[in-house]
Chain A
Amino acid sequence: MSPAVWFGEVGASLLAMDWTPAIASKLAPTVFPTGQTESAFAERLPLLLRDAVTGSLPEPWRWLANSLIAIVAIIVIFASLFALLTLAERKILGRVQNRPGPNRTGWGGILQPLADGIKMLTKEDIVPAAADRLLHFLAPVVLLALSIVTFAVIPYGRHLVPVELDAAVLYFFAAGAATELAIFMAGWASRNKYSLLAAMRALAQLISYELPLLLAFVPVVMLAGSLATTGIVAAQGGWLGGVLPHWHVLTPPGFAGFVIFMIAALAESNRSPFDLPEAESELIAGHLTEYSGFKYALFFMAEYLGMCALSGMAVTLFLGGWHAPLAALEFIPSYVWFAVKLLALLLGFIWIRATFPRLRIDQLTRLAWKFLVPLALINLLTGGFWVLTTHWTGGMLVVRWAIALVLVVGPFLALGRQFQARYAPRTYRYA
């Protein structure tokens, strides 16, 4: 049970961290330009609702209740998003593939997630006789717990940050890196050679893509000068002429970082076209072979939650977090903007799954090490240049953009050429 002890430790230290001042500062009335009081009210609505419930409690209990409400809200919202996402994915894939998708359960198939949930819960839970029972049980639990833990530092709205940490981005990716261990535990504890082989391969994939994932957000941290998610979102506030937002994705290093980040995020969450660890035709679904029933469902829940968390982090790092795209649209509450951006990225994930064929394992690792890692390293340089030239104005601004664009596009073209030279164009004789 020792991993459980470890979770207790991490949880306790998180609780021990003093986040009451952060919450208290958020309860103070915020200063808004005149004529935006409705926005301010809608903005603080979740907090007002929470305070209506917990306001009468004495101080330590109130803090505890507030924390519990935040935890329950995150779990409920993202678990229902998970359910809706499975349905949306099947419906959209059906639409792309010119078939109806699930359409028998409820109105147009809307109750399908519920039916799937009941099916998974009532299925027999089979554990192989030779399996390491403890680790076999712990693997999906650890995986899901680590996926949920990452949601703690994402700013969902102007006043909605569950935990404010100075090194929040690092915390997020540290928890994400630990999930690899759970996948290995699943593969090894199953006592099945295919599971073990697939787990090793999954580890190779996850480690390979961890590197571009981590390198891709470093320029953003340099631009914002902060590892705190709140600081990074704050650095992206404001508009150029009320139209052009100061999002990181709209700077050359930020754009390159965003693209690399999203590709690596696809691979990190085992999504198609990088879904080798769990695809049925690859080593009989890999580390999932010996799992059934609810444990199997937990793996997929962790995968979807991981996808949501990575998308939420991408929104925070590159797409301006909860900031509105136009100054005129600021009257819409910030958490709505966050949700819109998050859903857009998630639909992008589904679209990609419907469009791209799966990579082979050698293509997958080659893409990471020979293409994404060098690009991400060069992007660090671009980020450094961009940060050092923030004071350039006037005609130098054109020079700044030109140099940065060359630094972004040049290596991409050069590496892409070299990458393609040996393997493309291909002739498919039987296709």
Chain B
Amino acid sequence: MSTFALGTIIALILGSAAVALCLRRLIRSVLLFVISWAGIAAFYLWAGAEFLAFAQVLVYIGAVSMVTLFAVLLTRRHDQPDLVIEPPARSRAAAGVTIGACVAAVLIPAILATEFPAASATAPTFSVRQLGLDLMEQHGVVLLVVGLILTVALLGAVVLAASKEDAS
């Protein structure tokens, strides 16, 4: 039963992502990605990580989807309603495969190197205090780095938006 649920969730995540890549209407793709993110939240729920699942919904479905929609709607040229896909070229395919291989080269060793501890018999007690302490002490550096990256991204977005306004 639980394996079946996992299978359904995985099919939902991968299926909606795959369909989203094939669609020509960008807004529909974004909405399908939202379903994919919801599937990831469902996976977290399946794995028993309630907090993470709800945070996933809050951040991805509540915020990231909005950012994506705004980006799609505000940056697109007005005279072409649908995305025009250029004819395939060998150089583009090569670039795509190279970038994909680079990402995989980073991710796959990381996944293989991860050790999954055996699940403890008793469910860990959930406490906001413990969560906060873990985030701030054990993973404090990671948190800072993530915050820095997000700030840089935000500044970049502001610069882009401001320069566009000057041009017009």
Contacts and interface: CB of A to CB of B under 8 A. Distances in A.
A227 B58 CA distance: 15
A175 B41 CA distance: 12
Interface residues of B, number: 33
A185 B57 CA distance: 17
Interface string A289-325: 0000000000000000000000000000000000000
Contact residues on A (Cβ < 8 Å of other chain), bracket: 35 or more
Given A6-B38, A170-B55, A181-B34, A225 B5 contact: no
A418 to B, nearest CB: 22
A183 to B, nearest CB: 10
Interface string B12-49: 10001000000000010001101100110010011000
B46 A170 contact: no
A196 B70 CA distance: 11
B57 A174 contact: yes
Interface string A117-133: 00000000000000000
B5 A177 contact: no
Contacts of B73: 196, 200
Contact of B62 (A171, A174, A226, A227): A174
A419 to B, nearest CB: 22
Q: Is the interface of B mostly helix, strand, loop or mixed?
A: helix
Contacts, number: 88
Contacts of A180: 62, 66
23 contacts: A3-B35, A5-B12, A10-B38, A12-B5, A13-B5, A165-B50, A166-B126, A170-B54, A174-B54, A177-B61, A177-B63, A178-B57, A178-B62, A181-B34, A181-B65, A181-B66, A196-B73, A200-B73, A203-B70, A210-B62, A225-B129, A226-B128, A227-B128
Interface of A: 2-3, 5-6, 9-10, 12-13, 16, 135, 165-167, 170-171, 173-175, 177-178, 180-181, 184-185, 188, 196, 200, 203, 207, 210, 221-222, 225-227
